Amino acid sequence: MTMKQYDMAKIFKALSSEPRLELFMNLYEWEKNSGQSLNSLDSCETQKECCGTEKAFTKACGCMDLSRSTISHHLKELQNAGLVTCTRSGQVISCKVNEEVVELIKHFLE
Amino acid sequence: MTMKQYDMAKIFKALSSEPRLELFMNLYEWEKNSGQSLNSLDSCETQKECCGTEKAFTKACGCMDLSRSTISHHLKELQNAGLVTCTRSGQVISCKVNEEVVELIKHFLE
DNA sequence: GTGATTGTTCGATTGTTTTCTAACTTCAGT
DNA sequence: ACTGAAGTTAGAAAACAATCGAACAATCAC
């Protein structure tokens, strides 16, 4: 068992439950559609708003039919696998998808 | 939850346990290294030997530290997710990795 | 400071997964 | 027909995962 496989199993496990995959895909799409990519930083009002999905937890609670505690748990799993990074500002959580891991997924089968 | 996400969760679940990912990677590498790709059919002795990994189950039993029944179970999970197709000739199982699903994995995040 | 809002943590429950052994079936060789 | 090898299936134990509500902590809005 190589290190690579160890990490990949962890990543795949994080994406292996439907609700968690849905959560991840939401984060992924929100980030994409908000035009908050690194090369559009200057078109945003503040730099902070440009680093990922603002109010990710709140948004997820609003559109997924799961309790807050369950969403909290799933978000932690995604973080744990390295798929997303979350930061807190006050009460509010923002998330950023880890592009490095996205590339790992895309390329692990050559 | 789109159909696509439903299928992807199933695929990721199949790859989410270390032994099962190892099994899949073995199949994937064996198939690759045996030169049994579609465009090298004529360099093989018989056409049958060229369609995937011959004696996949037997080979897996020989190199993985799991009981035969456990390997049988994991192989079924891989089949169930559509990642591999297995065929039987007599007592012996041969497997073929489903390239379509490999492409799905590579491209599901654009 | 009080009260509402955000998110986390705990404990319980329910269901799923991993793995084994043992019993079975099917096929191959003799 | 008998024996052995290749896989499968069934049953069970143990570990793990998903989910919720309740209690909590931190922060914001007045």
* Banded model confidence at residue B48, pLDDT cuts 50, 70, 90: very low
Interchain contact, A28 vs B106, CB within 8 Å: no
Please report the pLDDT score of residue A4 as a whole number.
Answer: 59
Asked if B1 has any chain A CB less than 8 Å from its own CB, the reply is yes
- pLDDT for residue B23 is more than 70: yes
Question: Is it the case that residue B46 has pLDDT exceeding 50?
Answer: no
A106 touches chain B (CB under 8 A): yes
Within 8 A of B1 by CB-CB distance, chain A residues are 18, 22
Kindly indicate the confidence band of residue A54, based on its pLDDT and cuts at 50, 70 and 90. confident
Extract the tokens encoding A64. 């997924």
Q: Which residue is nearest to nucleotide D16 (CA to C1')?
A: B17
Q: Which of A8-17, A29-38, A60-69, B61-70 has the lowest mean pLDDT?
A: A29-38
Q: Does residue B66 belong to the interface with chain A, where contact is any CB pair within 8 Å?
A: no
Q: What is the CA radius of gyration of chain B?
A: 14
Note whether A34 and A68 are within 8 A (CB): no
Q: What pLDDT is recorded for position A34? A: 77
**Does pLDDT of B50 surpass 80?**
no
| pLDDT tier for residue B35 given thresholds of 50, 70 and 90 | low
Q: For the residues A83-103, what does the mean pLDDT come to?
A: 94
B 25-54 residues with CB < 8 A to A: 25, 28
pLDDT at B5 over 90: no
The pLDDT mean for chain A works out to: 84
Tokens found for residue A96: 């950023």
* Residue B44 · residue B36 · CB < 8 Å: yes
Candidates B73, B101, B94, B100; CA nearest to B17 is: B73
Does residue B67 carry a pLDDT above 90? yes
DSSP A42: G
- pLDDT higher than threshold 70 for residue B41: no
pLDDT at residue A47, rounded to an integer: 38
Shortest Cα–Cα distance, B89 to chain A (Å): 28
Distances (CA, A) of B45 to A64, A103, B29, B35, B36: 55, 38, 20, 12, 11
pLDDT given at position A36: 52
pTM: predicted TM-score of the whole model, two decimal places: 0.86
The Å distance, CA of B45 to C1' of D12, is: 46
Instruction: Please give the average per-residue pLDDT across A29-58, as a whole number.
Output: 62
**Which residues on chain A are in Cβ contact (under 8 Å) with B17?**
9, 13
Cβ of A6 within 8 Å of Cβ of B22? The answer is no
Average pLDDT over residues B13-25: 97
3-state helix, strand, coil in chain A (%, to 5): 60, 10, 25
pLDDT averaged over every residue in chain B: 84
Q: How far is the CA of A65 from the C1' of C13 (A)?
A: 20
- Residue B84 confidence class, pLDDT cut points 50, 70, 90: very high
